[in-house]
A and B are shown apart, each in its own frame.
Chain A
Amino acid sequence: MSNDMPIALVMGIGTIGPALAIGLLTSKGLEAIGRNPEAASKIQTNMILGIAFAEAIAIYALVIALILKFV
């Protein structure tokens, strides 16, 4: 059904940004842990915080897609 196309586009385009953001965050985090293994738990906590913020954007796109599909 062509009715599903916009819904699929919302999810497809909406998750490009957050995916890139999470990838960059994690790579920098791992780099920082590699340089300074002693501060690993501090870095990890802040990294998870940053990933949660970035993932929230993808969740906004998901909620719009769900609303379009089920309401």
Chain B
Amino acid sequence: MATGPHISISAEPLFQIGHLQITNSMLTSLIVSFVMIAFALIVRFKLKSTNKPKGLQNVAEWLIETLQSFIQTITGDAKKTRRFLPFFATFFLFILFNNWFGLLPGVGTIVTTPIAEQDEVTITNELEAIEVTLEEVNQHLETDQHQADPNHEITLQHQVETETNIVNDLDMFTKEELIEASNHQIKAPVFRPGSADLNTTLALAITSVIATQIFGLMTLKFSYLKKFFNLASPIDFFVGLLELISEFAKIISFAFRLFGNIFAGEVLLVVITFLIPVVVPMPFYGLELFVGFIQALVFSMLSLVFFNMATQGHEEH
């Protein structure tokens, strides 16, 4: 698709602070985080203890109550619920708002030029590579001049001509102009949902799995490690090894499930809107709303179930 929508799996950097490149998905994650923190701070400083809460306090209380009763049905223990509530609520709300942010108008459609992804080093390398092939081809022509393959000569000569043309053309521009030209053709959206970037989902997945281990160690102390290194019998040892491997598989699974769903939703909306901009994207939009909610729910619910399993201790089968 030469003039079609430009879809890129990795997020594009927008600007640079020192050595840190800020990408468009980092920007939206920051915006969502600020909104959530601002909401929390406003509710905290306007907290009144009353039986009829109003406004933002009402919303906050409803959120906490719903999430807490949901966790209670899964863990069945008030102390555990108290401990898991911050993690569950943060995962759920952060992922939910990041997913739904991608559906706001302007996200993915306001474009800008990303900062140069090609720098001087790569352009110089490419020029040098072309010059090297040019020399090789010339040498080849001189040594093979008396060989009886006219087609070979013609293709080599053609190659020499095109390479000479390329080098001559490139000599007309300075390196800065070349870099600018190669980057001007690519536009990148200013906003991109945070969870459509594999970095964000990977970070969330690693946080979730490490939190599981920490909860397990805190509750069961060192007998938590008996889950992985069980020397009672060869079969138990093997099962422990499989458990260890499945912890790493959980990281991959969490990251890719969230990334795949949200990124595929972005691609779907972009492609459908590119094909038929009116009316037809509406059911897909509805699907994206639903998928965003379900994925946030599934991520937090799975984390919760793993927290619960890690703190449960060894029951008799």
Contacts and interface: CB of A to CB of B under 8 A. Distances in A.
Interface in B248-275: 253, 256-257, 259-261, 263-264, 267
A5 to B, nearest CB: 17
B221 to A, nearest CB: 28
Interface string B66-98: 000000011000000000000000000000000
Contact of B74 (A45, A56, A66, A70): A45
A42 B105 CA distance: 38
B298 interface: yes
Interface residues of A, number: 16
A16 interface: no
B99 to A, nearest CB: 14
Given A48-B298, A52-B298, A70-B7, A59 B261 contact: yes
Interface string A37-71: 00001100100110010011001101100110011
B2 interface: no
A62 B74 CA distance: 31
- Which label, helix, strand, loop or mixed, suits the secondary structure of the B interface? helix
Nearest to A63: B260
B264 A66 contact: yes
Contacts, number: 44
Interface in B1-25: 7-9
A49 B257 contact: no
B305 interface: yes
A31 to B, nearest CB: 22
B261 A67 contact: no
A52 B257 CA distance: 9
Given A49-B301, A52-B298, A66 B9 contact: yes
Interface residues of B, number: 20
Contacts of A56: 253, 256-257
B302 interface: yes
Contacts of A62: 260, 264
A41 B73 CA distance: 10
B73 A45 contact: yes
Nearest to B198: A63
Contacts of B8: 70
Given A45-B73, A66-B267, A60 B298 contact: no
A49 B7 CA distance: 31
Contacts of B297: 48
24 contacts: A41-B73, A45-B73, A48-B298, A49-B298, A49-B301, A52-B257, A52-B294, A52-B301, A52-B302, A55-B257, A56-B253, A56-B256, A59-B257, A59-B261, A62-B260, A62-B264, A63-B256, A63-B259, A66-B264, A66-B267, A67-B9, A70-B7, A70-B8, A70-B9
- The 9 A-B pairs of least Cβ separation, nearest first, read A59-B260, A52-B298, A56-B257, A63-B260, A62-B260, A70-B9, A59-B257, A56-B253, A62-B264
Given A45-B74, A59-B256, 15 more contacts: A42-B73, A45-B301, A49-B301, A52-B294, A52-B302, A55-B257, A56-B253, A56-B257, A59-B264, A60-B260, A63-B256, A63-B260, A66-B260, A66-B264, A70-B7
